[in-house]
């Protein structure tokens, strides 16, 4: 154990002083601005930031620390491993909305922690712990992915009442589409059944980012804010939070007719300067961006050429004569730029989530 501890300390010191080829900048002001924007338009509802999947690739610890400047009831995560990451930063309340194996419940520290449940097996396992635990019951209103059926709701409430230390703090669901009026009506039916059972819940939550303006019923009083928190979405005031920078690690001149990268799918039409960056599909650049994506160098956009490799991509610099180890912007925090997450997703025929959550967690992240 002593050897392991010494090794961890050495690695920690090395990480702090070793200069990185790749750096992700997290814009603190942008993150807080996005939170404040949704708080303003939410008509008094609770805004709960979702930090699952490493805070959508942004870095769960950094994002949690920044958000301590705002007051809200819950951080929202998928699983307990994410709870442990946030616990390194703060003991503020967390809601787990992913599935947890019941045999793990006894190993969990339940202070300031709530959990989503959707079945009697989990309810019984939690109840048998004989501990005060807050639960949020998930009901399927039409997405048919998670949640118990509305027809089973009354029997689930009966099961919860068998365990006095279990607190049904919230009821939740998830919209398959933000304009699905039918799901909203079903969720309102769920709230009515819960009310008739004699249980007074504190929170009802149904929507994420896109549905903020769609739900009028104020009994639905909390919003799980995901992608919009990070500045992505069809709201004009959002500010992307993430900026990804790298450096040129190799430069060369290639002649007309020479090819680049695996399979040689890109061929030079004339003598040109090319550069290599240490960013590939392991870091963030999906292979579907091969011969289609863009990066920015000295305020100009340059195309990614050839097949994107595991840890490298090649850039066509044209007539531009760059210097070795010059900075290159891989991802811009300007949504209008060709290399913004939104534009990259369009080019690759993906959704922004896919690109963000695949950003390698080992890449250094700093707050700006």
d(C-alpha 185, C-alpha 188), whole Å: 5
- Look at residue 37 and give its three-state secondary structure: helix
The CATH number assigned to the domain with range 28-230 reads: 3.20.20.10
Outline where DSSP puts E strands in 79-176. 94-96, 113-117, 133-138, 166-172
**How far is Cα 96 from Cα 82, in angstroms, rounded to an integer?**
9
pTM above 0.85, yes or no: yes
CB 239 within 8 Å of CB 207: no
Q: What CA–CA distance (Å, rounded) separates 288 from 366?
A: 28
pLDDT at position 18 = 82
Q: How is residue 296 written in tokens?
A: 């920015």
Domain boundaries along the sequence of the chain:
28-230, 242-367
What kind of architecture, by CATH, is found in domain 242-367?
A: Beta Barrel (2.40)
What pLDDT score was predicted for residue 348?
A: 97
Nearest Cα to 187, choosing from 158, 153, 155?
Answer: 153
Cβ density class 9-27: b for 16+ within 10 Å, e for less: eeeeeeeeeeeebbbbbbb
Tell me which DSSP letter residue 298 carries. Answer: T
The answer to whether 309 and 287 have CB atoms below 8 angstroms apart is no
Contact yes or no for 207/178 (Cβ under 8 A): yes
What is the per-residue DSSP string for 154-181?
A: HHHHHHHHT-TTEEEEEEE---SSTT-H
CA–CA dist 22, 347 (Å, integer): 23
Query: Can you give the pLDDT at residue 324?
Result: 98
Average pLDDT by stretches of 10, the chain with 368 residues:
61 71 98 97 95 98 98 98 98 98 98 98 98 98 96 98 98 91 95 97 95 90 97 92 98 98 97 98 98 97 98 98 98 97 97 97 96
Q: Quickly tell me which residue has 């939104």 as its tokens.
A: 342
Question: Which regions of the chain does DSSP assign to beta strands (E)?
Answer: 23-26, 46-49, 75-77, 94-96, 113-117, 133-138, 166-172, 203-205, 222-225, 242-247, 250-254, 259-260, 266-267, 272-277, 294-297, 300-305, 313-318, 327-331, 364-367
Residue written as token pair 């050429």:
305
Compute CA 169 distance to the chain's CA centroid, rounded to the nearest angstrom: 25
What separation in angstroms does the CA of 26 have from each of 67, 94, 317?
12, 22, 27
DSSP state of 206: -
pLDDT value for 265: 96
Give residue for tokens 């419940």.
105
């Amino acid at each position: 154990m002593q050897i392991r501890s010494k090794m961890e300390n050495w690695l920690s010191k090395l990480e702090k002083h070793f200069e990185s080829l790749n750096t992700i900048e997290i814009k603190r002001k942008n993150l807080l601005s996005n939170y404040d924007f949704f708080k303003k338009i939410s008509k008094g509802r609770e805004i709960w930031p979702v930090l699952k999947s490493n805070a959508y690739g942004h870095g769960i610890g950094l994002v949690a620390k920044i958000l301590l400047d705002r007051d809200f009831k819950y951080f929202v995560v998928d699983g307990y491993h994410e709870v442990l990451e946030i616990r390194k930063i703060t003991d503020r309340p967390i809601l787990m909305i992913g599935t947890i194996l019941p045999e793990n419940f006894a190993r969990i520290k339940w202070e300031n922690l709530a959990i989503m449940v959707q079945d009697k097996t989990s309810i019984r396992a939690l109840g048998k712990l004989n501990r005060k635990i807050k639960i949020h019951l998930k009901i399927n209103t039409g997405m048919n992915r998670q949640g118990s059926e509305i027809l089973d709701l009354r029997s689930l409430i009966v099961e919860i009442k068998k365990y006095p230390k279990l607190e049904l703090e919230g009821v939740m669901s998830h919209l398959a589409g933000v304009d699905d009026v039918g799901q909203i009506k079903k969720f309102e039916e769920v709230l009515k059944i819960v009310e008739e059972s004699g249980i007074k819940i504190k929170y009802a939550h149904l929507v994420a980012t896109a549905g903020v303006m769609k739900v009028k019923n104020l009994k639905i009083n909390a919003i799980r804010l995901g992608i919009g928190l990070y500045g992505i979405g069809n709201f004009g005031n959002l500010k992307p939070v993430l900026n990804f920078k790298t450096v040129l690690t190799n430069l060369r001149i290639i002649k007309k007719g020479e090819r680049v990268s695996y399979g040689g799918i890109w061929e030079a039409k004339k003598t040109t300067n090319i550069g290599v960056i240490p960013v590939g599909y392991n870091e963030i650049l999906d292979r579907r961006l091969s011969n289609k994506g863009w990066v920015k160098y000295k305020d100009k956009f340059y195309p990614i050429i050839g097949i994107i490799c595991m840890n490298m991509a090649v850039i066509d610099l044209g007539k531009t004569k760059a210097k070795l180890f010059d900075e290159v912007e891989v991802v811009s925090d300007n949504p209008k730029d060709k290399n913004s997450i939104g534009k990259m997703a369009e080019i690759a025929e993906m959704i922004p989530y896919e690109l963000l959550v695949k950003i390698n967690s080992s890449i250094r992240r700093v707050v700006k």
